[in-house]
Amino acid sequence: MNENNNNRERSSKMKRDSSGDFNQKSARMAKIEQGSSDYFLAGRSVGSLQNAFALAGDYLSAAAFLGSIAMYFSQGMDSLFYAVATLIGWTLLLILFSEKLRATAAYTFSDVINQSFNSARLRVLSAVTSILISLFYLLVQLMGAGALLSLLFDLNYTISLVCIGLLTGGLVLLGGMKATTLVQSIKALLLFVFAGTMAFLALKEFQFSPTHLFLRVASLSSFEALMPSSAISSGIEQISLIMGLVLGLLGLPHVLMRFFTVKDSRTALYSAAGTTLLIALFFILNLIIGFSAYVLLNGETLAGGNNMALLHLASLLGGSGFKWILAILVFITVLAVIAGLVMAASASLTRDIIPIIWPQKQESLLVARLSVVAIFLVGMILAYLFQGMNLAFLFGIAFAWVASAHFPVMFCRFYLPGFSEKGAFYGLLVGAIGSLLFIVSSNTVWVKILGLTSLHPYSSPTLFILPLSFIVILLFRERKVGKREA
């Protein structure tokens, strides 16, 4: 009898100890999860107004400002294609995904598409594509800032890249998403103040008459600057470019991540609506500034290349002091955008890849900070190799890559009944590899960089690769067979 009582007491004690260990483990995991949420998503506490400005600050990058003005200066109306198409993309993001993304309670793009499957291979593939896209987008920011720093201080381009990496790395390593959100919001406000001032000074040169400005553009170019250039004059190329710009926005990892930082779906919806209005206003200002550069800098050979057209226009309109204000603003712009890109890439690495190959989540923040260093190094190497290419062009190619790989999978995840793990995996694989092969085989890489014979005349892959991704997803669609009635 006493032995039975002792056994029951030992069993009860073991259960209490087991329960205590479980509770302690759960408490530790909850603390780690909260720390991860604070670092990557600012504790999901960002308000709609601040998130709208942060989204605008995240998107309005060196390519959106320096590159678009350079394209107005060198190719005229081509830059408007990028502006209108991406604005349509923001509208579609508002309608299709803004509320649904926050409802998933996800951290990353991988979380969104893999939520129903818990597939290791899908998680790894989607994380890899997210990281690669973030890196490709990152090099655009580094190139713009590197060229500007080199021009202003007469530094070697490589040294400029290293300085930028050190400057921006500290923000992400120490502050996480809270610091990133604050910098992005402040940067957006400053950018609108500067762009508004630039547009005012530019219009002053034309008696505050947009009509006078466009008449000057037409007279200088025999109306060619108000028409698509030879670079996108092909109807097929225009369609592919516009599709890439419109749909590419809907899958950019660093843009999607901002929808995970708010408290609920309604806040996410208001954020997207506010950002769409801000982006529309910015593109109107850009149109005035860009064509003013075309007229006022016409015929000049610009130090630093066409990508520095905005800097030269600022110097012309406001003197050297205004030029230095622009330089500081561009650095803040790069700081904000790079921070968002690195946060997205670090989240994908830490949340999606590391737990599969090394399940010790206690080290996740340390791994995230180490990944920041690696991402900066790779980004700077790519920025060095791609030195001199048009920023807006690289920006468009990044969008096309996202449009062909991320968008079809995410769209089908929310709107296709029978969406399957195989469809998601192979659709993403076809979109990513197909886009990469298409970009490498285009004249931009195959001929101009590799020096080989042209294979095809197109630059944007979206029109050709996007349908393949959708077809693959549909082929693996699961069809539920109902039971026959007796």
Q: Are the beta carbons of 109 and 126 closer than 8 angstroms?
A: yes
3-class secondary structure per residue, 50-104: HHHHHHHHHHCCHHHHHHHHHHHHHHCCHHHHHHHHHHHHHHHHHHHHHHHHHHC
Predicted confidence band of residue 395 (pLDDT cuts 50, 70, 90):
low
What's the confidence (pLDDT) of residue 25?
Answer: 44
Which residues in 230-382 belong to E strands, given as ranges?
none
Residue range 318-344: mean pLDDT, rounded: 79
Exposed, middle or buried, 32 (CB in 10 Å: 0-12/13-18/19+)? Answer: middle
Q: Which residue has the higher pLDDT, 170 or 470?
A: 470
Report whether pLDDT(475) > 90: yes
Residue range 343-363: mean pLDDT, rounded: 75
At residue 62, what are phi and psi to the nearest 5 degrees? -60, -35
What's the confidence (pLDDT) of residue 289?
Answer: 93
Q: Are the beta carbons of 290 and 79 closer than 8 angstroms?
A: yes
CB atoms within 10 A of CB 201: 17
Per-residue DSSP letter, 359: -
Q: Are the beta carbons of 418 and 477 closer than 8 angstroms?
A: yes
What's the confidence (pLDDT) of residue 63?
Answer: 61
Question: Quick one: which of 91, 173, 166, 82 has its CA closest to 365?
Answer: 173
What's the confidence (pLDDT) of residue 80?
Answer: 81
Predicted confidence band of residue 485 (pLDDT cuts 50, 70, 90):
very low
Report the alpha-carbon angle 451-452-454, nearest 5.
120
Question: Quick one: which of 366, 406, 364, 377 has its CA closest to 133?
Answer: 406
What's the confidence (pLDDT) of residue 471?
Answer: 96
For the chain, the structural domain boundaries read 45-387
What's the confidence (pLDDT) of residue 464?
Answer: 92
Q: Which residue has the higher pLDDT, 54 or 144?
A: 54
Report whether pLDDT(82) > 70: yes
Report whether pLDDT(399) > 80: no
Residue range 126-148: mean pLDDT, rounded: 81
Distances (CA, A) of 419 to 99, 113, 470: 20, 10, 11
Q: Which of 117-126, 395-404, 453-462 has the lowest mean pLDDT?
A: 395-404
Residue range 429-447: mean pLDDT, rounded: 85
Residue range 165-194: mean pLDDT, rounded: 82
Distance from C-alpha of 322 to C-alpha of 202, rounded to nearest angstrom? 13
User: Residue 262: helix, strand or coil by DSSP?
Assistant: strand
Q: What is the mean pLDDT of the chain?
A: 80
Distance from C-alpha of 219 to C-alpha of 469, rounded to nearest angstrom? 45
What's the confidence (pLDDT) of residue 394?
Answer: 65
Tokens 């991402």, located at residue: 375
Tokens 């803040």, located at residue: 332
The yes or no reply on domain 45-387 and CATH 1.20.1730.10 is yes
Q: Are the beta carbons of 195 and 329 closer than 8 angstroms?
A: no
Q: Are the beta carbons of 146 and 161 closer than 8 angstroms?
A: yes
* pLDDT cut 70: percent of the chain above it: 84
CB atoms within 10 A of CB 268: 25
What's the confidence (pLDDT) of residue 204?
Answer: 92
What's the confidence (pLDDT) of residue 71?
Answer: 86
Q: Give percent helix, percent strand, percent coil of the chain, each to the nearest 5.
A: 80, 0, 20
Report whether pLDDT(442) > 80: yes
Predicted confidence band of residue 29 (pLDDT cuts 50, 70, 90):
very low
Point out which residues pair with 46 in neighbouring strands: 262
